[in-house]
Amino acid sequence: QGKDIKIQEAPIVVSIFGPHSSGKSTLLNYLFGCKFLTSAGRCTRGIYASLAQLSRPVNLTNQFLILDTEGLDGIERANSTETSLIHFDKTMVLFCLAVSQVVIINVKGDIGNELQNLLQICAYSLNKLNVRKVPAPKIFFVLNQQADINPDNHLTSINILLDKLSTDFMDTEEVPISDLIQVSRDNLFILPLAFNSEQMNKPDSKLFDSEVTKRSSAITFADKCTKLRLAIID
């Protein structure tokens, strides 16, 4: 009726995937102020979404659609067959890579089979999306809950792992894995534990029937999350 209509720009989609109980939901809560449920066990089933709004626009929008995903290793899907578990993991990763402008690959613990499996699935999915011809999402690698947070001490091990995967991947997909995945200091973030724990009562205390532990946010974790957030919105 002659009125100006302001069209809302589409939000930037940020997704995360990784093994169960690797700190995915906690990380997103720190990064974007989400309120995803966190616990020691399985707390995300399928995909949960949250809309976050920044105080200043990024690429013409100040809204981010945050996707939190179920753990990929299938430990708590005991009734599923191995084939269905692999299919679920590949489908979840492919979906995240297809709809997102930013993808966070989150792993905790030592660099080993879990990260190797994730890199294989990620490379397979990126190849299926044919990202050599269409824009690929910006990918960040997060090693969570690490005692050693020096990225140089982890970067060499990750690139050795990629080299080991390259031959098999080239044989099956006929594409160099380096064309699809690169890990560098720019997209690798090493995070410590998110919380500090402090015992508040002595074992022989008469005031409490059980041990009381105080948890507080770790400053180093928060600082690292701030750097990751800035890299994401840059």
- Calculate the CA dihedral of residues 65, 60, 222, 30 and round it to 10 degrees: -20
pLDDT tier for residue 140 given thresholds of 50, 70 and 90: very high
* Closest of 146, 145, 140, 147 to residue 230, by C-alpha: 140
Q: Which residue has the tokens 């090693």?
A: 143
pLDDT value for 1: 44
Chain segment 99-128, per-residue pLDDT in tens: 999 999 999 877 777 788 888 889 888 888
Give the mean pLDDT of 157-180.
Answer: 86
pTM exceeds 0.85: no
Chain segment 149-165, per-residue pLDDT in tens: 898 889 988 888 888 88
Contacts of 224-227 with C-beta under 8 Å, sequence gap 24+, read: 224/149, 224/189, 224/190, 224/191, 224/192, 225/27, 225/30, 225/31, 225/191, 227/189
Residue 29 has pLDDT above 90, yes or no: yes
pLDDT value for 42: 61
pLDDT tier for residue 72 given thresholds of 50, 70 and 90: confident
Instruction: Give the C-alpha separation, 79 to 76, whole Å.
Output: 9
Q: What tokens appear for 107 in the block? A: 């792993």
Computed over every residue of the chain, the mean pLDDT equals: 81
Q: Are 100 and 94 in contact (CB under 8 A)?
A: no
Chain segment 179-210, per-residue pLDDT in tens: 888 888 899 999 998 877 666 555 555 555 66
Instruction: Give the C-alpha separation, 227 to 231, whole Å.
Output: 6
Residue 59 has pLDDT above 80, yes or no: no
Residue 228 has pLDDT above 50, yes or no: yes
pLDDT value for 132: 66
Instruction: Give the C-alpha separation, 193 to 220, whole Å.
Output: 9
183-222 b/e with 16+ CB inside 10 Å = b?
beeebbbbbbebeeeeeeeeeeeeeeeeeeeeeeebeebe
pLDDT value for 139: 92
pLDDT tier for residue 3 given thresholds of 50, 70 and 90: very low
pLDDT tier for residue 224 given thresholds of 50, 70 and 90: very high
Q: What single-letter DSSP state applies at residue 80?
A: S
